[in-house]
Chain A
């Protein structure tokens, strides 16, 4: 240890009796975190500046005349720090008691209950009984505009929200007004947070229930939600998110930290657009036969019949309509299958595009991209070409009247006429919803959405990122890579993929861009592709 500490860029200190070596310029709070010691804090947030005003992260540093705020005190060589000493504990207890003087203790009706830092800290260390005799001051609820309600009574005045809007969103719309126990957060103008495109983040960073989402209000309790690491499907930035689901329905999306992609943040557009994942009325079982002759079938029958047809017309021209919402595993396996059964003359996808980008000034890596789908770059790597206009219509003229094999995956063909694919010798529609343009399909196969399967997307930075299954698929819908992989194995020989990781491993062999990668190697943080491929 001593040898390391002599290097100029690190310091060694002792926290609660444990020696720790950290880079110079590390705060005591972070140094304690590396030891697994959590120092309570409200105003400090790793993505924001540290004003050291909440006074709850105070720790005892030997030699210092009084307790030091650990979020701004930098670690120094030879420091001896106590986070659990009697004076530090007494201070925290006192600070918590002050916070509770005016706190309404309305945990039963507060949306933050279960993930609230005030609740946690008071439960850990607070006094059992309050001593305040005076009546509590009451503010009630304020509508901040956008998706945000403000409950002033619950606020601990950490000013994280004020600093986020000021420092990160570069759009100072919030401020503290009044002083002392009358202090509240307020907006400058009547418009409040309307049209602010990153304001939803202040709900995430609020350590208590002062700022809550209107959309999520009273919808579910924090402890009822299942958290699944996933990727935001609403633009090609691919923000790392957690799907919060209850009763097999997504209730909200929350950003998951990834400093290479989205930091701690995500945009309001991505956050608000999750209802489509929950949409009911999905295709639940495979259908065989065109138009009025369509009959429901089980997977074995449907795939067996499909294989027979594929063998009959082997060598025909194949046109593929993919989707930028499909995973790499699905798109790659589809393209491989196309090449195995015939000659792929066209493989396209259509993507809705916004008019402009929307960057987050304080975190330049995070941009709400023009492409409003998660896997545009993955589709391009796997040999698909963009088609159609910016509202994801048109561009399928050749496919509509194609006379060979036509395969549609994920594209709902909402703008296409009923005679779409009427001339095709074989028309396979893999999708989530019935569509008039799927009327002529010989096979309608139900597949899952990204939330119901494991897989990977490639974002606009050329970064391949994994998402996990968070919901149960409806009926007998199966992941597209599983369906297509089984067909491919039957056509080419070999084993069908048993998992999305298997399907990806097959892509890594075939596509140079993914060479050497696997689901394990990608991990939770994602992996950057070589720029030449991305």
Chain B
């Protein structure tokens, strides 16, 4: 097809008015000024609502007497696809099996939540937490004490009223 050229005829400069277009634009602007629908979140003063299944950094549940609930069964390091959990089991003075070493490398973690899913005693949880900034890299390997100190809410991996998604 042959290329055709259409010549636009514009009014000469100084002989046209932009008033109508300007008013149209400004009316939209003022409409938003009155009908407020706020999208921007004033973080950190305002905290976002996280979804119940949001999976963030971990938390270890503790018994009433301060012992970790973990029994060092070794299922979480076994199931962990990122291989970020290090566990050394032992026996405490009351004859209970407990983790002597329990470390999670949060840098290596992919936050899949399988550690929480597999835990037979509901000890390790992924949490609703995302503010993890640190000054050094090694601080991202959370040890047992650190995991027990965390107090953010834990993640719901399933709906308690419908645990089998039926």
Q: Do A and B come from one complex?
A: yes
Q: Which of A218-226, A277-285, A337-345 participates in binding chain B?
A: A218-226
- A141 to chain B: which residues have CB within 8 Å? 95
B75 with A218: CB separation less than 8 A: no
B73 with A109: CB separation less than 8 A: yes
A108 with B75: CB separation less than 8 A: yes
- A223 to chain B: which residues have CB within 8 Å? 78
Measured between alpha carbons, how far is A109 from B89 in the docked complex, in Å? Answer: 10
**Contact of B153 with A by CB under 8 A:** no
Q: Report A340 CB to chain B, min CB distance, Å.
A: 49
Kindly supply a per-residue 1/0 record for chain A positions 97-116, scoring 1 wherever the CB is within 8 Å of any chain B CB and 0 otherwise: 00000000001110001000
**Contact of A365 with B by CB under 8 A:** no
Measured between alpha carbons, how far is A107 from B71 in the docked complex, in Å? Answer: 11
B78 with A218: CB separation less than 8 A: no
**Which parts of A258-307 form the interface with B (CB within 8 Å)?**
none
Q: How many A-B residue pairs have CB under 8 A?
A: 26
Measured between alpha carbons, how far is A223 from B121 in the docked complex, in Å? Answer: 20
- A107 to chain B: which residues have CB within 8 Å? 73, 120
Q: Report B125 CB to chain A, min CB distance, Å.
A: 16
Kindly supply a per-residue 1/0 record for chain A positions 220-244, scoring 1 wherever the CB is within 8 Å of any chain B CB and 0 otherwise: 0101100000000000000000000
**Contact of A217 with B by CB under 8 A:** yes
How many chain B residues touch A (Cβ–Cβ < 8 Å)? Answer: 13
- A108 to chain B: which residues have CB within 8 Å? 71, 73, 75, 120-121
Which one of A109, A219, A221, A224 lies within 8 Å of B71 (CB-CB)?
A109
**Contact of B145 with A by CB under 8 A:** no
Q: Report A424 CB to chain B, min CB distance, Å.
A: 46
- B75 to chain A: which residues have CB within 8 Å? 108
**Contact of B148 with A by CB under 8 A:** no
Kindly supply a per-residue 1/0 record for chain B positions 81-114, scoring 1 wherever the CB is within 8 Å of any chain A CB and 0 otherwise: 0000000011100010100000000000000000
- B72 to chain A: which residues have CB within 8 Å? 109, 218
A218 with B90: CB separation less than 8 A: yes
CB<8 Å pairs between A and B, sample of 14:
A107-B73, A108-B71, A108-B75, A108-B120, A109-B71, A109-B73, A109-B97, A141-B95, A218-B72, A218-B90, A218-B91, A218-B97, A224-B74, A224-B78
Measured CB to CB, the residues of B under 8 A from A are: 71-75, 78, 89-91, 95, 97, 120-121
3 closest Cβ contacts across the A-B interface?
A108-B73, A221-B74, A218-B89
Measured CB to CB, the residues of A under 8 A from B are: 107-109, 113, 141, 217-219, 221, 223-224
